[in-house]
Amino acid sequence: MANIHVVLLLSPLLALTFCCLTFAADPASLQDFCVADSNNQVKMNGLACKNPAWVQANDFSFSGLHNPGNTGNPFGSAVTPVTVAQIPGLNTLGISMVRIDYAPWGVVAPHYHPRATEILTVIEGSLEVGFVTSNPDNRLISKTLQKGDVFVFPIGLVHFQRNIGHMNAVAISGLSSQNPGVSTIANVVFGSKPDISTDILAKAFQVDKNIVQQIQWRF
């Protein structure tokens, strides 16, 4: 009788545990595809599906990744995205990609992707790449890559790339989200709208408030 009481008491707990484990991962797809319907105004986690009867091959394709991006900017780099915004058929599939072009000594400034791990392959040139682990270690893990080399940037960690050659460089990256997002550290900290208080940033970076203001004005 005591065993029955124990089972009855534990049953709700076991059910809750099973429920949490079941929903801890992304749910399996319930259909072949869910092509994004850009005209649908429904707000949801992802994008509403287009009627499958209206889906065409163009919903799953993108042209132009062979074209170099314009690196004529202060960073000397350009990112050509291929996300759900470019290929509606990526909706709910959890993947995307980008082409990255680098002028000589061009950089992709420190940033992170809130929703994706990134795997980068060097197509041309030589790149210095790296990411920084979270607090308290803040360890820099960095490597020089050559043509054909691959490097992984874990989700949510700050990372960067720099062309260390005298010629243009090209890389292709795959990302584990249809909409990985990007937060560039300098823009987030110094270019927020409205500005983060100069007092806060001056204390955080241990510099004079005038220096913070000068940086904020650049954004």
- Positions at the binding site for Mn(2+): 111, 113, 118, 159
Query: CA distances (Å), 57 to each of 62, 66, 88, 92, in order?
Result: 10, 20, 11, 17
Query: CA distances (Å), 188 to each of 17, 157, 191, 195, in order?
Result: 38, 15, 6, 10
Per the annotation, where are the binding residues? 111, 113, 118, 159
Per the annotation, where are the binding residues for oxalate? 113, 118
Strand partners, 200: none
Work out the angle at residue 111's Cα, subtended by the Cα atoms of residues 108 and 116, and round it to the nearest 5 degrees.
110
Q: Give the Cα separation of 41 and 54 in Å (integer).
A: 18
* Block residue for tokens 């994706």: 116
Buried b or exposed e, range 187-215, using 16+ CB within 10 angstroms: eebbeeeeeeebeebbeeeeeeeeebeeb
